[in-house]
Amino acid sequence: MLLHALGAYRCPDKQSVRKRLTDLLDAHPQRPVLLCANHLTMIDSMLITWFLFDFRTLLTRFERFPWNVPELQNFGSNILLRIMCYLGKCVYVERSGSADSRRMSWAKVLYLNRLGETICIFPEGGRSRTGRVDREGAVYGVGQLVQENPETLVISVYLRGHSQQQYSFFPKRGDSFFLDFRLTPCRAIPGRRGQREITQQIIEDLEAMEQNYFATR
């Protein structure tokens, strides 16, 4: 495992969290999954995939291996990140690109969702500059996706390295991670107001898990 070899990262609760997630997914078969996570480092989605899923299982249930939606500009200049993205399942997005480019990327995400694939997305839109869940930075694309496909199983995921104080490019080498998740029931409310409410439901669950993390620390 590249992340283990280079970063020496670990998650002590990995096995119990994996078991909880497997039980949840097995209880909702044939439903597309949307992992909605907080965002502090450039490799959060890779760590989430590693910690949540047993790669032996992914050989037989490849649809559970999450698609990620990285910003092309952030991942194009670093050779290590480019290799990781090449090995993973990625739909690149150019936030500073043309409207047509952004629409094409989003159309691919919607298509994968309708196929029943798992997608990992960051409802904050980018790495939090405060080091905490950034409610003010929330974007409503996740709400639009749930509107487009109400069958989507929304799972809010909170990941944080114990040494993480603010946002960073990589986590500190050798860091140990806290990981938790919860099922976030989302009603497919129509319109822009509905997109906002769906996103805020997810943000509230992320904030609740963050509060629990700091309360236990």
pLDDT at 194: 87
The confidence band for 39, taking pLDDT boundaries of 50, 70 and 90, is very high
Whether 36 and 156 have beta carbons less than 8 Å apart is answered as yes
Output the DSSP codes for 92-152.
Answer: -B-TTS-HHHHHHHHHHHHHHHHTT-EEEE-TTSS--SSSS--GGG--SHHHHHHHH-TT-
Q: Which residues pair with 157 in a beta bridge?
A: 37, 181
Percent of the chain scoring above 70 in pLDDT: 87
What are the strands of the beta sheet with 153-161, ordered from one edge?
Answer: 89-90, 67-68, 118-121, 33-37, 153-161, 177-183
User: How many domains does one find in the chain?
Assistant: 1
Range of the domain at 18: 2-216
The confidence band for 200, taking pLDDT boundaries of 50, 70 and 90, is very high
pLDDT tens track for 103-127: 888 888 889 999 989 999 999 988 9
Q: What's 44's domain CATH number?
A: 3.40.1130.10
pLDDT at 142: 86
pLDDT at 19: 95
Name the token pair of 125.
């839109």
pLDDT at 9: 93
